[in-house]
Amino acid sequence: MLKVFQSPWRWYLLALVVIALDVVTKVWAVERFMYGPALQIIPGFLQFTYAENYGAAFSFLADAGGWQRWLFGAIALVFSVVVVVWISRISPAKRWEPTALALILGGALGNLWDRIVLGYVRDFISVYYGNWHFPVFNVADVAISVGAAMLVIELLFFSDRDNKSSENSAEV
C-alpha cells in the first residue's frame, strides 16, 4: 500500500482535501455572488451569498482596526502545528480522532489562507429563518465544527473504551 494512505499521511491528505474544497467553493462564491444576488437553496432557510469576515467566529473583533488579522492568523498557525503533531502521535488503529483533527486542521488552514492573503475570510453559506440570521460561514467553518463535534463525541463516549483497550494491551 502507498505510504500516503498509511497513518498519519492519510489524515494530512484529508486536511488537504478540506483545504482544496474550501478554496474552490470560496472562489466559486466570489465569482457567483460578490456582485450578484443570493441563490436561494431552501427558501426561508438556506441561501448562498457573499460576505467578508474581518474578525473571528461570529465576526468577533471584526472592526478592531486590522491587528486582529495577525492575531487570529498566529493563533491558527500555532494551533495547526499542534494538531499536526497530535495527529502524528495517534495510534494507527484509531480512526475517529484523527479524522476529527484532520477536518479541524483543514478548516483552520483554509481560513488562515484567506486571512493571510486577503486580510479577511470569505463566507457564503447563510442560514436564516424570518428575521433571525445565523452568521454567514464557509466550508472551512463546517469542517471545523464537524471535527470539533467529533472530538466531543470521542471524549464523552469513546475515551473510556480507548483507555481500557490500551490498559488491556499493556497487561499482555
Q: 112 phi and psi, to 5 degrees?
A: -60, -40
CA pair distance 130, 154, nearest whole angstrom = 35
Q: Is 123 a catalytic residue?
A: yes
**122 in Cβ contact with 115 (< 8 Å):** no
Which residue type, as a one-letter code, is found at position 156? Answer: L
* Neighbour tally for 47: CB within 10 Å: 19
Q: 31 phi and psi, to 5 degrees?
A: -65, -35
Cell numbers for 10, please give them. Answer: 492519510
Active-site residue among 114, 141, 160, 162? 141
* Neighbour tally for 52: CB within 10 Å: 16
Q: Is 160 a catalytic residue?
A: no
Active-site residue among 22, 63, 114, 123? 123
Cell numbers for 83, please give them. Answer: 494538531
First to last CA, the chain: 29
What residues act catalytically? 123, 141
